């Protein structure tokens, strides 16, 4: 199972980085391309922080987040390895692998992109520019591009605070790594009884074997 988890991780990371590098080297910040009407759009943006554009402010916030990501991904990687070696539920291993690979994909941006690309403002970025990158190691920005503004409308006027205000679903711009993380977490939530029931059974079997 470890080999399958490794191959899945590499596939997710490859797809994520392929899309990001293509967008980074072909689009200017804010540029859009309508893939399918007005509901599926490639919209190039970058963020300093977490999934779906959330972030911690300031230089120290960025450094803290990048450092935390490196530590967290190391722990996640070891946990996936441990799950494989202990023959955990295959669905749980796949879900955790998706979370790990997605997190790893975003770490690549955060750690390396600032040093290997120039900025994308008013220009298409180039790889390893002569003048150096737009930042340094650990201070890169995460590339986002998927935008699904499926529904546009207005909140009912009778609604407190937001009455009459425009709303949009789905407004966050995200990337393939975010999708992998969210999918992995979503499957774990939906299948938690199955996943953790198997772990409980294995723990009971080991306990019985130890007693006998």
List active site positions. 144, 178
Measured from the Cβ of residue 153, the count of other Cβ atoms closer than 10 Å reads 9
User: 204: which residues sit within 8 A by CB, 6+ positions away?
Assistant: none
Closest by CA to 23, choosing from 151, 132, 181, 147, is 147
**Strands (E) located in 27-184:** 32-36, 40-47, 142-147, 151-154, 166-169, 173-174
164: left (phi over 0), alpha (psi -120 to 50) or beta: left
């Amino acid at each position: 199972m470890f080999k399958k988890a490794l191959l899945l991780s590499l596939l997710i990371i490859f797809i994520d980085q392929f899309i990001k590098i293509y967008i980074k080297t072909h689009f200017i910040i804010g540029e859009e391309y309508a893939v399918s009407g007005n509901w599926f759009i490639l919209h190039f943006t970058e963020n300093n922080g977490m999934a779906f554009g959330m972030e911690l402010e300031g230089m120290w916030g960025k450094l803290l987040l990048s450092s935390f990501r490196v530590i967290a991904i190391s722990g996640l990687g070891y946990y996936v390895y441990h799950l494989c070696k202990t023959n955990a539920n295959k669905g749980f291993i796949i879900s955790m692998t998706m979370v790990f690979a997605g997190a790893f994909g975003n770490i690549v941006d955060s750690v390396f992109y600032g040093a290997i690309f120039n900025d994308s403002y008013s220009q298409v970025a180039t790889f390893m520019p002569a003048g150096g990158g737009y930042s340094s190691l650990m201070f890169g920005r995460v590339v986002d591009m998927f935008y699904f503004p499926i529904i546009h409308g207005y909140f009912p006027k009778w609604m407190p605070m937001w009455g009459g205000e425009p709303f949009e679903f789905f407004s966050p711009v995200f990337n393939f790594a975010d999708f992998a993380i969210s999918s992995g977490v979503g499957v774990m939530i939906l299948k938690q009884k199955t996943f953790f029931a198997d772990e409980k059974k294995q723990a009971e079997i080991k306990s019985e074997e130890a007693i006998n």
